[in-house]
């Protein structure tokens, strides 16, 4: 009993765990199934959940969608692209570093390996934080470090016969999210009802289309 209580205390407070039969949890699983069957002949292995301007509000949605894949038995890595406002580590009570910004400067080296991910309290789901910019890692912006080639290398390094899910803000325009959008198999736009401005949603959609992203659709998140 004590070990079960300890296990529960380390789990994040996500609706797919707390109320698995609720309408919101069912909605997140519906997004999962849409993504799972969106590929024509090949399985989707990398996805960007693109925030259309509501920022940390959609971090909860991204965490629930990622968790729904993991709870269904699919190894999943959730990648935070927001160094300035990292919401995901707090949702999982995880450390904010080391993270993506620490791995990228050495990504082109032959022995770079995969970046270090952290546990989330959910079996089959790990988190790659965006990281914290510092002298020990780099003073460069994440957007300047995350090139198209490094994005492809990152997806390959993290893909362990599972799914890599990125979460980042597209509007106001975020260069790192657009770089990822052009390199992943699919993009889903996250719009928060009553929070996301219509102009931001349209701007995000236009930006994704300009980089040739495979935009599957929009998920409307209600408060």
Task: Identify the DSSP state of 28.
Answer: H
- The reported pLDDT for the residue numbered 68 is 96
Smallest CA-to-CA distance from 45 within 165, 219, 179 is with 165
pLDDT in tens, 98-150: 899 888 888 888 777 888 899 999 999 999 999 877 654 456 778 788 888 99
- The reported pLDDT for the residue numbered 28 is 94
Q: Which residues of the chain have pLDDT under 50?
A: 1-9, 136-137
Evaluate whether 180 touches 137 at the Cβ level (below 8 Å).
Answer: no
Looking at the domain that runs over 2-221, which CATH code has it been given? 3.40.50.300
pTM to 2 decimal places = 0.89
Residue ranges of domains in the chain? 2-221
- The reported pLDDT for the residue numbered 200 is 84
Task: Identify the DSSP state of 74.
Answer: -
- The reported pLDDT for the residue numbered 9 is 41
List the alpha helices (DSSP H) in 74-218: 88-91, 100-103, 142-145, 148-158, 175-183, 198-210
- The reported pLDDT for the residue numbered 3 is 36
Give the integer Cα–Cα distance in Å for 8 and 59.
Answer: 21
């Amino acid at each position: 009993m004590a070990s079960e209580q300890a296990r529960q205390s380390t789990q994040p407070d996500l609706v797919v765990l707390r109320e698995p039969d609720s309408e919101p949890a069912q909605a997140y699983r519906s997004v999962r199934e849409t993504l799972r069957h969106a590929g024509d002949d090949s399985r989707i292995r990398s996805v960007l959940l693109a925030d259309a301007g509501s920022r940390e509000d959609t971090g909860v949605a991204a965490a629930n969608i990622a968790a729904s894949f993991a709870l269904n038995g699919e190894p999943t890595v959730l990648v935070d692209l927001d160094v300035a406002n990292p919401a995901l580590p707090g949702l999982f009570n995880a450390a904010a570093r080391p993270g993506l910004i620490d791995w990228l400067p050495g990504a082109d080296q032959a022995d770079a390996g995969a970046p270090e991910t952290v546990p989330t309290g959910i079996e089959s789901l790990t988190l790659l934080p965006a990281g914290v910019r510092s002298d020990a890692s780099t003073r460069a912006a994440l957007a300047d470090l995350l090139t198209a080639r490094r994005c492809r290398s990152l997806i390959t390094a993290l893909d362990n016969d599972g799914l890599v899910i990125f979460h980042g803000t597209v509007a106001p325009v975020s260069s790192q999210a657009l770089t990822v959008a052009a390199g992943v198999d699919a993009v889903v736009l996250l719009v928060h009802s009553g929070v996301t401005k219509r102009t931001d949603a349209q701007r995000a959609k236009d930006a994704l289309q300009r980089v040739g992203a495979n935009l599957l659709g929009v998920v409307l998140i209600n408060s």
